[in-house]
Structure 1
Amino acid sequence: MKKNSFNTKSLLALLICLFIFAASGCSAENSNSDSEGEKMNEKNKKVTMIFSFKSASLDPHTSFTPIRAGITETLLKLDENSNIEGWLVEKWGTLDSTTWEFTIRDNVTFQDGDKLDAAGVKASIERSIAINESLGESLKIASMEADGQNLTITTTGPYPALPSELVNPYTSIVNTAAELEMGQEKFRNSPVGTGPFSVKKFTSNQEVQVVKNDNYWAGKPKINEATIKFNEDANVRALAFQAKEADVVYNLPAEGIEVIEKDKELTVKSVPGLRSHFILYNQQSSKVEDVKVRAALNLLINRKSIADDIMLGHAIPANGPFNSDLPFGSDDAVKKLDLNKAKLLLAEAGYTENADGKMEKDGKALKLELITYKARPELPLIAQLFQSDCAKAGIEIIIKTVENADTHLVENKGWDMSTYSNNTSPRGDGSYFLNTAFTETGALNVGRINLPEMNEVIKELNKTRDLDKRTQLTKDAATIINKEVLHSYAVYPNIIVGVNDRIKNWIPTAEEYYILTHTMDVK
């Protein structure tokens, strides 16, 4: 009896032990499964993006790609309201009208582990000026002194716009000591910056692959890797987004949005930006040097049709260089298409209409070459609409599509006009655009504009601190631009960006600088 009792109890105990063991095994198995799932999720934290502009190199002092790809950073940056804030700088201020002091963050290292200090910043800024000549004019630096984390910059004269100019991506801070070790050519394709991502592989004009910088000063990036591809064909970009070959795609064609939005996993963000689409005039061309001819051409731009029919409502008609919603935007009325007035202006410029309806002067028909490019899909369409309306006024427009408009306009003098797009107030201020597009040494002044009246206003703006006075001077400059028709502004376009719903903690921003960030994550 006792023996039987003992056996029953033993069996019961054994069964309990087996149950506990099995439960423990299941728990361990689930734990391992969860752990493997987390590891798999970490491995899948990769993002693919497509940008509309090619990048021949990754030199941050000649290309915006490094800052957009999270490789480099600047001393100062813009916040979500386009106000200037510190980035690699903790604080800054002026001692007098020409002396600026900047305190560099003490906890920042380059991607190779070297500490960032004022001497490194000084060397990087010196490199940027040597590589990009236009920066010398825009920064107006007379001298720099480095002491630990403190950098003192003395400008050539009173220059309150210096902080705004230090937001410029071309002033990105890089480790020049690494360039000495690597050599300039290798460094230009794999720069060492302070950003959340470092270069893994770069293929010129095709793509850049980056990996996270675990030692990033502002916190470990959420994304492990990212591939940024370059493709100037808007339709190819749209198809890649629809096929989910890319998570984020910039500058989608407006006409493709409706189809994309039928997919519940895809979203299109249309963000009001700080950009203008406009027509550049080549001041070296005898055909458009007369302001009356430019004024006539200005009246042949159908701004409403561009906004409604080409941009499909993702733009508003422009009345000057700066978005009319900005404090320093122009008060001028938006010019409407006016064929009759355009013909009258051409007559005042000495042109007569021949039997074929063509405008001619001294026996020569008015024939103009218009440059355009495909990276922004609406620009060739704007060129075609403009061509059609000019034909009604007896002006023949020859459209020439080029791959790289910036290079073509600089290297060639025979063009008359060009469709163009530029971020005219990327730093919440108009001085950048005015200095780069209208001064004699400005990097964007490919039309060789040199107007004394304009130069004086910009000179006064550059030394003015008072915000109200700066606003008025900027508006004065816009008035001159419109009066002299130095450019013809068509529309203020939205930034159209495709975003896969797997992307989280990220939205496209108006300034178009800070794209791949350490806070971007995936579901």
Structure 2
Amino acid sequence: MNRKSHIMALSLLASTVAFGAQAQNNSVTVVLSEELEIVEPCSATKSNVGRVLFQNISETVTEMDPKTGLQPRLAESWEDMGNGTWRFNLRQGVTFSDGSAMDAEDVAHSLKRMKSEAIACEIGAKFFGGIEITSNVVDPHTLDVTANPAQPILPMLMSTVTVTTSDTPMDKFVDHPIGTGPYTFDEYARGQHIKLSANPNYWGEQPTVQSATYVFRSDSSVRAAMVAAGEADIAPNIALQDASDPAMDFSYPNSETVFLRLEHAYPPLNDRRVREALNLAVDREAFVGTILANGTLLATGITPPSTVGYDHDLKPYAYDPERAKALLAEAKADGVPVDAEITLIGRINNFANVLETMEALHAMYQDVGFNMKLEMVEVAEWLERYAKPFPADRGPEIIEAQHDNANGDPVFSMYFKYHSEGQQSGLTDPKVDALIAEATAATGDARAAKWSELFGYIHEEVIADVMLFHMVGFSRVNDRLDFAPTIRTNSELQLSQIEFK
């Protein structure tokens, strides 16, 4: 080989190595605490599903940014047409990952599908419960959406609506999501990994991250160690005790509220004194700085303190085991079957140290005299017990849950958690139903006042649930990434926001 040929060969080899290194460096591995039971876009607001799909595969009509508020996404602009109708002007030149063009018919179909009774779409039940939605296609890129009752924050509600193609089935979930997002859904090998890659036909800027692999490890220490060793790039959720490296670990208020949902239909949980005793039996402050992080807030409502109408004058129930015992004795004397066995249900890997949290709660309840057993279940079984239709002949159950609301308004929480027809409500109370309707339709100070009234009624009068904690999250991020977790990281991890150092 002559000198010129030798130099050319070396140059070609160097280019090949550089290209391979660049391809590898443009990929990330995300290690998650639990698998996805579904990959359905209309349930992408569920935290475990949203970490993969939301705004990566499936984009929304509008977008809520924690720093700047409501922003355009698939709709470039919107206007109030009156009488509950808003007009959305859709972005042109957008295609789905299957090559089809997105238009107003796709958005109209997505709105209809999320409310379909044939499937239980999380978004429809969560955010549009009790609301009738109708659409009118004005032209291929203009859609009028009418809400009944009228929704003054309908553009904000549309930040939850993931758009799918108009031929997406109305009666079953999809197993290979097609979206307009910056990534395509390539592979789900259950028990092993999920793979995404950059969408070459994305309407927006091409992201720096060109591919992503999601793997699943239930042990927090394992997830943290994988990032430290370079086997993974991000662990969105690790436990307090594993967040030991200031160079890689981030803490942040994560908009999640942990609580115990009480089933009011079954004795003894249908007695207010028993529900009060359940609240008084918990030493909430003992969890902070031990099992849970310093900075964890004691909760009096299901949404973070930053939401509209959160009642900051409400006080968490004080730890008073003697009063709890007295209330149980009083109820028993009146014939309430306080000795009936209650099942306390926790969700495995729902948050870091969830098992330790549930074991501590179980012990506190036993200490004041409750006859209670603890069951820790996987997410699929947990959903069967947590969402309607509830299992028949289930008996008295208390279900641990973690609810995320980073959108700034209780409308994203209250209907499906507390309305009599709410998909995850254990409560039937006409006053609660009326207050939800009034708050949802109100604006400005009147809206805040109605939500505040509802928070007080649920916490003080009904004692609907056992409110526990507004959480602090911990994430570990490999030093090669330029990425800082936010309030949304536990439920939404946009790969397009990640850069490399």
Bin of the TM-score, shorter chain as denominator length: 0.7 to 0.9
After superposition, the C-alpha distances for 1:435-485 in whole angstroms (9 at most, x for unaligned) are 11011232322x2x1111111110101211x22221111111110110111
After TM superposition, list the pairs within 5 Å mapping 1:473-512 onto structure 2: 473-483=450-460, 484-505=462-483, 507-510=485-488, 512=490
Q: Which of 413, 430, 444 is residue 424 of structure 2 equivalent to?
A: 444
After superposition, the C-alpha distances for 1:201-235 in whole angstroms (9 at most, x for unaligned) are 11346532111112211111212211112444434
Partner of 1:390: 365
After TM superposition, list the pairs within 5 Å mapping 1:50-129 onto structure 2: 50-63=31-44, 64-65=49-50, 66-68=52-54, 70-81=56-67, 83-129=69-115
Native 8 Å contact 1:318 1:490 kept in 2: yes
**Residues 229 and 144 of structure 1, relative CA distance in 2, 3 Å threshold:** farther
- Structure 2 residue identity aligned to 1:441: E
Native 8 Å contact 1:71 1:196 kept in 2: yes
Q: Secondary structure at the match of 1:176?
A: coil
- Structure 1 residue identity aligned to 2:355: P
For the residues of structure 1 that align with 2:384 and 2:157, how far apart are their CA atoms?
A: 23
Structure 1 residue 175 corresponds to structure 2 residue 165: yes
When structure 1 is superposed on structure 2, of 500-509 and 144-153 the one drifting more is 500-509
Partner of 1:379: 354
Structure 1 residue 472 corresponds to structure 2 residue 449: yes
For the residues of structure 1 that align with 2:255 and 2:197, how far apart are their CA atoms?
A: 30
After TM superposition, list the pairs within 5 Å mapping 1:250-329 onto structure 2: 250-258=236-244, 261=245, 267-329=248-310
For the residues of structure 2 that align with 1:243 and 1:432, how far apart are their CA atoms?
A: 39
Structure 1 residue 427 corresponds to structure 2 residue 407: yes
What TM-score, normalized to structure 1? Answer: 0.84
After superposition, the C-alpha distances for 1:139-183 in whole angstroms (9 at most, x for unaligned) are 521343341210001222222232232222xx2111234x47xx9
For the residues of structure 2 that align with 1:208 and 1:237, how far apart are their CA atoms?
A: 16
What TM-score, normalized to structure 2? Answer: 0.87
Structure 1 residue 42 corresponds to structure 2 residue 29: no
Gaps of 5+ in 2: none
Partner of 2:324: 342
Native 8 Å contact 2:260 2:468 kept in 1: yes
Native 8 Å contact 1:319 1:334 kept in 2: yes
Q: Secondary structure at the match of 1:437?
A: helix
Partner of 1:219: 205
For the residues of structure 2 that align with 1:69 and 1:203, how far apart are their CA atoms?
A: 21
Native 8 Å contact 1:70 1:514 kept in 2: no
Native 8 Å contact 2:183 2:198 kept in 1: yes
For the residues of structure 1 that align with 2:338 and 2:293, how far apart are their CA atoms?
A: 38
For the residues of structure 1 that align with 2:140 and 2:53, how far apart are their CA atoms?
A: 25
For the residues of structure 2 that align with 1:454 and 1:363, how far apart are their CA atoms?
A: 26
The structure that has the greater radius of gyration is 1
Partner of 2:142: 150
Partner of 1:402: 377
For the residues of structure 2 that align with 1:363 and 1:324, how far apart are their CA atoms?
A: 36
Following TM superposition, by how much is the alpha carbon of 1:304 offset from its aligned partner in structure 2, in angstroms? 0.8
Native 8 Å contact 1:237 1:249 kept in 2: yes
**Residues 190 and 318 of structure 1, relative CA distance in 2, 3 Å threshold:** same
- Structure 2 residue identity aligned to 1:370: L
For the residues of structure 1 that align with 2:95 and 2:292, how far apart are their CA atoms?
A: 44
Q: Secondary structure at the match of 2:474?
A: strand
Native 8 Å contact 1:88 1:104 kept in 2: yes
Q: Secondary structure at the match of 1:453?
A: helix
Native 8 Å contact 1:251 1:496 kept in 2: yes
Partner of 1:370: 344
Native 8 Å contact 2:256 2:403 kept in 1: yes
For the residues of structure 2 that align with 1:172 and 1:395, how far apart are their CA atoms?
A: 44
Native 8 Å contact 2:236 2:489 kept in 1: no
Q: Which of 470, 493, 498 is residue 515 of structure 1 equivalent to?
A: 493
**Residues 500 and 39 of structure 1, relative CA distance in 2, 3 Å threshold:** same
**Residues 67 and 408 of structure 1, relative CA distance in 2, 3 Å threshold:** same
Structure with bigger helix share is 1
For the residues of structure 1 that align with 2:221 and 2:483, how far apart are their CA atoms?
A: 27
**Residues 519 and 490 of structure 1, relative CA distance in 2, 3 Å threshold:** closer
**Residues 221 and 238 of structure 1, relative CA distance in 2, 3 Å threshold:** same
Native 8 Å contact 1:269 1:508 kept in 2: no
- Structure 2 residue identity aligned to 1:476: E
Native 8 Å contact 2:346 2:376 kept in 1: yes
Q: Secondary structure at the match of 1:71?
A: coil
**Residues 313 and 337 of structure 1, relative CA distance in 2, 3 Å threshold:** same
**Residues 50 and 508 of structure 1, relative CA distance in 2, 3 Å threshold:** farther
- Structure 1 residue identity aligned to 2:477: V
Following TM superposition, by how much is the alpha carbon of 1:98 offset from its aligned partner in structure 2, in angstroms? 1.1
Following TM superposition, by how much is the alpha carbon of 1:325 offset from its aligned partner in structure 2, in angstroms? 4.7
Native 8 Å contact 2:152 2:441 kept in 1: yes
- Structure 2 residue identity aligned to 1:409: Y
When structure 1 is superposed on structure 2, of 92-101 and 136-145 the one drifting more is 136-145
For the residues of structure 2 that align with 1:150 and 1:362, how far apart are their CA atoms?
A: 58
Following TM superposition, by how much is the alpha carbon of 1:31 offset from its aligned partner in structure 2, in angstroms? 5.7
Q: How many residues align?
A: 479
Gaps of 5+ in 1: 1-20, 353-360
Structure 1 residue 462 corresponds to structure 2 residue 454: no
After superposition, the C-alpha distances for 1:346-386 in whole angstroms (9 at most, x for unaligned) are 2332359xxxxxxxx67873542100122123332222222
**Residues 378 and 468 of structure 1, relative CA distance in 2, 3 Å threshold:** farther
For the residues of structure 1 that align with 2:337 and 2:253, how far apart are their CA atoms?
A: 46
- Structure 2 residue identity aligned to 1:284: A
Structure 1 residue 208 corresponds to structure 2 residue 194: yes
Q: Secondary structure at the match of 1:61?
A: helix
Native 8 Å contact 1:276 1:322 kept in 2: yes
Alpha-carbon RMSD across the aligned residues, in angstroms, is 2.8
Partner of 2:129: 137
Q: Secondary structure at the match of 1:120?
A: helix
After superposition, the C-alpha distances for 1:269-296 in whole angstroms (9 at most, x for unaligned) are 1111211111110112211111111011
**Residues 454 and 489 of structure 1, relative CA distance in 2, 3 Å threshold:** same
- Structure 2 residue identity aligned to 1:462: T
